[in-house]
Amino acid sequence: MTINDILDPDTLTIGFARRFATYKRANLIFKDMDRLTKILTNPNKPVQMIIAGKAHPLDTQGKEVIQAIIHRIREYKLEKHVVFLEDYDMEVARMMVKGCDVWLNNPIRPLEASGTSGMKAALNGTLNLSILDG
């Protein structure tokens, strides 16, 4: 199965891509899995997510966040609704901001340094769903 077998260009696509530091709360959307599952699997209003990123090689907690997200996706059998892209780089980021409808950004306030993730999404015509200082 390839990514083209999973992603549908006619489905609302939420993107989240950045370095996986704990303060960026990549796992926040996975806190209420029953609610998320209902949203992602709604046959009348389908939603899909693309998640990408890396933890710093010495950031054990960041790596654990990635593992927890992948575990939750598998546990709730959401592999056809949530795609985790490995080897995140500038090219993947470029394609994601062009292909996502909504860019999710929910760091713990006031820890986000500059909010460039949301800026690059906005410059590509993507809606930015963010906390105020994201």
3-state secondary structure of 128: strand
pLDDT band of 60, cuts 50, 70, 90 = very high
Question: Strand 102-105 and strand 82-85: pairing?
Answer: unpaired
Query: Domain 8-130: which CATH class?
Result: alpha beta
Tell me the average pLDDT of the chain. 89
pLDDT per residue as tens digits for the range 24-38 = 899 999 999 999 999
pLDDT per residue as tens digits for the range 82-121 = 999 988 888 998 889 889 999 998 887 777 666 677 777 8
Global pTM? Answer: 0.89
Say whether pLDDT at 3 is over 80: no
